[in-house]
Every structure is written in structure tokens, then in C-alpha cells.
Chains A and B, each alone.
Chain A
């Protein structure tokens, strides 16, 4: 019996993977609320961001977006430009989510 117990113990010690992951929800434009209000398109480049075509500093991006929104849960559209990779997108998304803008979608 003790052998069995030790076997199970070792099995779970090896099989356990302590999760270090988190999830970033991406809004699906079709489901849920429709897009409302003025255009909120953020172009993400490896070294900067543009809001509706105008270069903006990342620090002011959330503020500039909030002006265009009725509530922080309005949809914001992100688009990867240049060689922006997923890490860069996640960084910008994290920046916006910190400011309370949680409805983010990604388009081509």
C-alpha cells in the first residue's frame, strides 16, 4: 500500500504543471454589442501606435480613445502594421486593458 501511495505521489509530482498562464479575452465583433460611435482604429507598429491614422504616443493612447467612447467597454479595433508581432500586440492590449478598455478586437 505504501508503495502504491509513493507511486501515485511521484506520478503527480511529475505530472503537475503549475499554471503560469493568463487569458486575454478578444472581443468578437459579430457577437455581443455592435460597434457604435466614431471610428476607433489603432494601428500597432513595432515602434509606435497610430489612432485613426494619426501617430500618438502610447501613454496618451488610452486617453485619446476614451474621448471617442461613451463607456470604457466600447469596442476598440486594433490592427497590426509593419512587422508588429503578437508580443507587441499583447503589450498594447495590456496597456489599454490597464486603463479599463477591455473590449478589444483584432482585424487584418
Chain B
């Protein structure tokens, strides 16, 4: 009996390299992503050079009109900040005297360190 030859069938494409690439990309973004709580208000920070950021425990956002945000709420009282590392994210066009006022409040609240966040130009 004649043996019927099998119809030509292309071999299944090996997709393991693609999965490898996908995993690599995944791991890359996992390492690179900075998981941070979303900012309550979009601030345009001043530009400048500074030291590398170490995330402060308390983040204060100050808009250009002087509104102070803490814990996602505007106009909140600072409360006690004893021993906290404060991160100040201020708008670049905020009057310097207002920033000085906020800094004084932060000092009075007992913070242990203050860092002003700037954007690297």
C-alpha cells in the first residue's frame, strides 16, 4: 500500500525567546519604577541641582498661591511633626517669604530635617 506522505506542516514557532524578553522588560520596569503615592496637586517645582532624594516621611505641597497640602488635604494644620523628615514640594513661583513662613511652622512643629525638592534641569 502506498504510504501517503504527510502534508507539509511548518514547525510551531518557538515563543520562549519572546517570553524571555517580556520577563526581562518586566523586571526592568519593576526595578526602575518608583512606587510613590500620587501627589494631591500638580506642582511645578523650581529647577536646580541638589543631593539625591531620600524620601521624607512627611511631604508638604505648596502651590503658587500659598495653599499648603498635607496628607492630601489643603489648608490642613501642620500638627506635631516631632522628629519627622519633611519633604517640601513648592511651586517655583511661590513668593520666598511664604516659603520662609512655612519653614518656620515646620521648625516650630519639631521636624528633624527639611529637604526642598527641586527638578534637575
- A interface residues (Cβ-Cβ under 8 A, vs B): 2, 5-6, 8-9, 12-13, 15-26, 28-31, 44, 79-81, 83-91, 93-94, 97-98, 105-108
Contact of B53 among A21, A28, A87, A105 (CB under 8 A): A21
Q: Are B104 and A19 in contact (CB under 8 A)?
A: no
Note all chain A residues with C-beta closer than 8 A to B104: 107-108
Instruction: Compute how far the CA of A81 lies from the CA of B107 in the bound complex, rounded to whole angstroms.
Output: 21
Question: How many residue pairs bridge A and B at CB < 8 Å?
Answer: 145
Dominant secondary structure at the A interface: mixed
Q: Are A86 and B87 in contact (CB under 8 A)?
A: no
- B interface residues (Cβ-Cβ under 8 A, vs A): 19, 22-23, 25-26, 29-30, 32-36, 45-54, 87-88, 90-97, 99-101, 103-104, 106-107, 111-120
Residue of B nearest to A30 (CB): B107
Q: Are A87 and B22 in contact (CB under 8 A)?
A: no
Note all chain B residues with C-beta closer than 8 A to A80: 95-97, 99-100
Note all chain B residues with C-beta closer than 8 A to A98: 49
Instruction: Compute how far the CA of A89 lies from the CA of B113 in the bound complex, rounded to whole angstroms.
Output: 19
Give chain B nearest CB distance to A18 CB in angstroms: 7
Residue of A nearest to B56 (CB): A23
* Known interface pairs A28-B114, A85-B93, A87-B93; A2-B22 also in contact (CB < 8 Å): yes
Note all chain B residues with C-beta closer than 8 A to A16: 29, 32-34
Instruction: Compute how far the CA of A85 lies from the CA of B23 in the bound complex, rounded to whole angstroms.
Output: 47
